[in-house]
A and B are shown apart, each in its own frame.
Chain A
Amino acid sequence: MVILLSGCVTVPTGFLKPQEGYLEKRSQQSRQYDTTNEKQILTSVAEVLQDLGFTLSESESELGLVSASKKADAKSGGQIAAAVMIDILGAIGGGSPGATMQCDKSQMVRASVITKPGLDGKKTVVRVTFQRIVWNMNNQISRVETINEPQIYQKFFDGLSKSIFLEAQQI
């Protein structure tokens, strides 16, 4: 509380140290493809990101990087229903409604995709990482976080596999 009032920010330490479980996270975020054609993979990556509604913000083909972002709705029926209940109960108790305004409203998802040659020199490794910024009903940033849900990464790679296959088939 004192820190908040004085407006001082203390910089924590240890945030540039790999956390436990980073290797599992790495494998969740990576896939290997049986090709050495990195440019083709990168083109497919851009296609899939566009399929998912992302806008490309940066690319560097020499290093194999594409970064992109997307704005999306973040309203959740369950969260809003719970907040409305809290506000109703609060109003009965004489409080002012606030929980509903704290509900998630919108989000921006940021993605970066990196391709690099596999260790055996015959494959290409693709790694994607996602983050998101969430705004509440008051248009304040309510939280910022790394996205760790495995199914989101799986969905991206399913799309990528399909896209690489389609391009290999020249459709």
Chain B
Amino acid sequence: MMKLKKYIIPAALIIVSAGIIGCETTANKAFVTQESQVQLRSIQTRAFDTTDKKKMMQNVISTMQDLDFVIDKADLTLGSVTGTKYLGQSTVAMTVTVRARGEKQLLVRANAQFGTESVADPGTYQDFFNALGKSMFLTAQEVD
């Protein structure tokens, strides 16, 4: 009987600790990115030759509305716009941020999420920036 106890306690400890490690890995899942950080940034970012932040944000909003997004939040000071779009059974969430780049340009970054998947496809973001550029009468320029 005593011999058996000697094995039960370490075995139980192993099971419990395995459980704890298991929990930790699911939290880590939320921070995993597929592309390299630099690559993703350049896919999601464009520069525009304007300094009119408010006008840019109004155009970001109207472009998102053209794409069937409902705007959930917007903040002029932070330069952020967040919206949700329903697509069949899925939800697309997108945040767009606008900030100054030097004295003559604005940087626009879009982050889209399809369900629980982060969108990393360059073509999808290109579609958005094309539409945004058209509404601003400006060209979306790639940045390094």
Contacts and interface: CB of A to CB of B under 8 A. Distances in A.
Contacts, number: 113
B66 A114 contact: no
A135 interface: no
Contacts of A15: 67, 85, 87, 92, 114, 124
Contacts of A116: 58, 62
A39 interface: no
The main secondary structure of chain A at its interface with chain B is strand
Interface of B: 54, 57-58, 61-62, 65-77, 83-92, 94, 112, 114-117, 119, 121, 123-125, 127-128, 130-131
B67 A18 contact: yes
Contacts of B128: 16-17
Contacts of B76: 60, 62-63
A130 B76 CA distance: 23
Interface stretch (A6-14, A74-82, A86-94, A157-165): A6-14
A122 interface: no
A15 B87 CA distance: 8
B71 A131 contact: no
Contact of A129 (B57, B65, B89, B112): B65
Given A11-B114, A116-B58, A18 B66 contact: yes
24 contacts: A9-B115, A9-B116, A11-B121, A12-B87, A14-B124, A15-B87, A16-B124, A16-B127, A22-B66, A25-B66, A26-B65, A57-B72, A58-B72, A58-B73, A60-B75, A63-B75, A64-B58, A65-B61, A67-B73, A112-B65, A114-B65, A116-B62, A131-B70, A144-B86
